[in-house]
A and B are shown apart, each in its own frame.
Chain A
Amino acid sequence: MLSRILKSREIWFSLIIVLCAATLPVYVSGYVLGLLTIAYYFGVFSMAWDLLFGFANEVNFGPSFLIGLGAYTAGILDSLYQPPIFICVLAGVAAAMIGGVVLALPALRVRGPYFGLTTLVAVLMLQNFVVVAANLTGGEIGLTVPDIISVDDKVNYWLALGFMTISGLILYGLSRSPVGLILQASGQDTVQAGALGFNIVKHKLAAFLVSAFFSGLAGALMVFYLGAASVTTFVDVTVGVQVIIGAVLGGRRTILGAVLGAVFLIVAGEALRPLGELATFIVSAVALAVILAFPGGLLGLMRGSRGAS
């Protein structure tokens, strides 16, 4: 399995890009680094979502439920007791994984749009909870966290890049492994995959847990990068929408494409910021055009052009 992954051209290509990206702090400003740091965390969100949708075929409208659980658990723990950061992050991951099980339970019962709605409700409930329990969570104003990982842009940048690379390798490896194939089979035809003797429940649950693990970890780390948690950065439905659009735009069922899409969304949104409200309009229009014209997404487009040449 490992040898097959190492033979894949995409992985080498991606690693070269990562190496180039690692040298960026030498010649770009802290502003660009900060932007890319956020973009890398979003890349992990999108990859984790792609594992659930692209492979297990579960339409999860609630990636920000898992992200928000991880982020807020870590943030609240830190603001209350100030334990070492890694304990807060671990707690955030644990909370997100419990959230993953909560999401997985309806997924084993209901399908398609019904499951999609359940996940959407999960996000809305979390959002309502954060606003209502304001003395714990900071409510709509947000929660300020006393500790941060580092004040140095470069350290934060490399940490985010390294985290994204390792997550990407693990998720990509998983998606190409027998487990990934079984997930894909169960996503396409649950009954037949079950008839072939695979334990669908176990595999789906595992997919939810893995997705929750990376979403929660990325969310918790992002809190300690930003030094604050708020509904609009972690829980709001629009955050989830951005994660989903990133994954579909980059090319679903590719894992690596999700990073491409997410980074594009964040960077393009920031580059067009001088245009004010038109920025989101243009980014959405471009994403819609890509989806309509090239359903394979950005990565599909690159693969296609390479195949043609």
Chain B
Amino acid sequence: MLFWQILIDGFAISSLYALGATGFTLIFGVTGVLNLSHGSIMVAAAVAAWAVAGTFGFGAYGGAFVGIATGFVLSLATYFMIVRRLQETRSIREEEKEIFILTATLLWGIMLQEAIAYLFTNNAKTVLPIVDGVVSILGVRTPANEIFTAVICWAAIGCLWGFVNRTRAGKALLAASMNPRGVTLLGFELSNIYIAVWAVYGALAGIAGVLLGMFLGVSSYSAGPLTASAFSIVVLGGLGSVSGSLIAAYVVGYLETLTAYLVSPAYRAIPALLLLVVVMYLRPRGLMGRR
């Protein structure tokens, strides 16, 4: 009974982690940017969905749509207002741009977080779920929303896989992650590819944020921990490797669920952190890292 419960709960949480981390790793793999406003964008999407669905009374579907749109818009804003300006400026040396992008996206994340706290207070909010009710799987009473979350996460990841491997734009994007200069020589405008990546990322972060809001609930405080967990999953899996991130998301998700059920919810974050430290020492490039 407990075994099945851990298996099912862990699966839903891990799928959500996987979706959140996929966008993060995509951005890093293609553009080389670690976006530290990731958590804030997810929270903003969830809070927008909560406000539209609940406070303004547009229902669950309206809320979800506005939430995803919010993630999309904020992601493009992050790119155009901050990342692009820093990437193109000549007054910062190339090797220092990384820390500037990190600091700037971090500040941007804090701004979003504080704006959310100011406009909507920092209470925890649960988004109106699209599917209601409880289903019994193998004797475990599971909220239907949990199954819905896992299904949508995998559908979104599947769409991303199809986009990257089966469409022309997706293949250009994949090529840009391997060799940006080569792609430019083949006549692709690199900045268009970057815009496409940020757009895809925004949609993924929006979906992940809305689902998180429906499943676990969010508050403006969750922005930092969300960024940190995406960051650690991505490093554990190997920076830039999507399949590595997926595996790492399941490892972290199940480790946390196991600890929460078998030891105590207070310790849930610790084993994953320890694993991360061990992996960093023994295999610094992560489970599936390319370098």
| Residue A12 at the chain B interface, CB threshold 8 Å | no
Interface string of B252-291 (1 = CB under 8 A from A): 0000000000000011011001101100110011000000
Residues from chain A with Cβ under 8 Å of B110 in the complex: 241, 280-281, 284
CA separation between A237 and B284, bound complex, in Å? 23
Which of A84-92, A118-126, A160-168 lines the interface with chain B?
A118-126
Smallest CB–CB gap between B226 and chain A, Å?
Answer: 12
A295-B284 CB under 8 A given contacts A113-B34, A241-B106, A287-B107: no
Cβ of A146 under 8 Å from chain B: no
CA of A154 to CA of B206, assembled, Å: 52
Q: Interface digits, A215-236 against B, CB 8 Å rule (1 contact, 0 not)? A: 0000000000000000000000
- Asked if B179 is an interface residue, CB under 8 A from chain A, the answer is no
Q: What interface size band does chain A fall in?
A: 35 or more
Interface residues of A in 252-277 (CB under 8 A from B): 252, 276-277
Assuming the contacts A278-B114, A296-B91, asked whether A117 and B98 have C-beta atoms less than 8 A apart, the reply is no
Q: Which residues of A contact B124 (CB under 8 A)?
A: none
User: Within the assembled complex, what's the spacing in Å between the Cα atoms of A291 and B97?
Assistant: 11
* Residues A280 and B228 in contact in the complex (CB < 8 Å), given A114-B235, A288-B107, A292-B104: no
**Chain A residue, CB-CB nearest to B284:** A110
Q: Which of B100, B111, B228, B267 contacts A132 (CB 8 A)?
A: B267
Contact assessment for B100 and A121 in the assembled complex, using a CB-CB cutoff below 8 Å: no
Render B84-117 as a binary contact track against A, CB cut-off 8 A, 1 for contact: 0110010110011011101110111011001101
Smallest CB gap from B236: residue in A: A117
B: number of interface residues (CB 8 Å): 43
B170 within 8 Å of A (CB atoms) = no
Closest Cβ neighbor of B85 among chain A residues: A292
Report the separation of the CA atoms of residues A295 and B88 in the bound assembly, to the nearest whole angstrom. Answer: 13
B56 within 8 A of A: no
Assess whether B118 is in contact with A277, with CB atoms less than 8 Å apart.
yes
In the assembled complex, how far is the CB of residue A57 from the closest CB belonging to chain B, in whole angstroms? 8
Q: CA of A106 to CA of B276 in the docked complex: distance in angstroms? A: 12
Please name the residue on chain A nearest to B277 by beta carbon. Answer: A121
- A47, CB-defined interface residue at 8 Å: no
Residue ID in chain B nearest A291 by CB atoms: B104
**CA–CA, A279 to B76, complex, Å?**
25
Contact of B98 among A59, A109, A244, A278 (CB under 8 A): A59
B145-189 toward A: CB 8 Å interface, digit per residue (1/0)?
A: 000000000000000000000000000000000000000000000
Q: Does B201 contact A (CB under 8 A)?
A: no
* Interface majority SS (helix, strand, loop, mixed), chain A: helix
Please name all residues of chain A whose beta carbon is closer than 8 Å to the beta carbon of B95 when the two chains form the complex.
Answer: 57, 188
Contact of A284 among B100, B114, B117, B122 (CB under 8 A): B114
Which A residues lie within 8 Å of B111 (CB)? 281, 284-285, 288
Contact A128 B235 (CB under 8 A): no
Q: Does A245 contact B (CB under 8 A)?
A: yes
In A4-34, which residues have CB < 8 Å from any B CB? none
Check if A114 sits within 8 Å of B102, measured CB to CB. no
Tell me whether A112 is interfacial, beta carbon within 8 Å.
yes
Q: Is the C-beta of A150 less than 8 angstroms from some C-beta in chain B?
A: no
Give the CA-CA distance A285 to B138 in the complex, in Å. Answer: 52
Q: How far apart sit A17 and B267, CA to CA, in the bound complex (Å)?
A: 48
Task: Determine which of A112, A116, A292 lies in contact with B82 in the assembled complex, contact meaning CB atoms within 8 Å.
Answer: A292
Once the chains bind, are B92 and A244 in contact (CB under 8 Å)?
no
Q: List 7 A-B contacts (CB under 8 A).
A: A110-B284, A120-B231, A124-B228, A241-B106, A280-B110, A281-B111, A291-B103
A sample of 20 more A-B contacts (CB under 8 A), given A112-B98, A238-B224, is: A57-B95, A59-B98, A106-B280, A109-B281, A113-B235, A114-B280, A117-B231, A117-B280, A118-B280, A121-B280, A124-B273, A128-B267, A128-B270, A128-B273, A132-B270, A245-B106, A248-B100, A284-B108, A284-B114, A291-B100
A residues neighboring B (CB under 8 Å): 53, 57, 59, 106, 109-110, 112-114, 116-118, 120-121, 124-125, 128, 131-132, 188, 237-238, 241, 244-245, 248, 252, 276-278, 280-281, 284-285, 287-288, 291-292, 295-296
User: Which 4 pairs of residues, A with B, have the shortest CB-CB distance?
Assistant: A281-B114, A277-B118, A110-B284, A288-B107
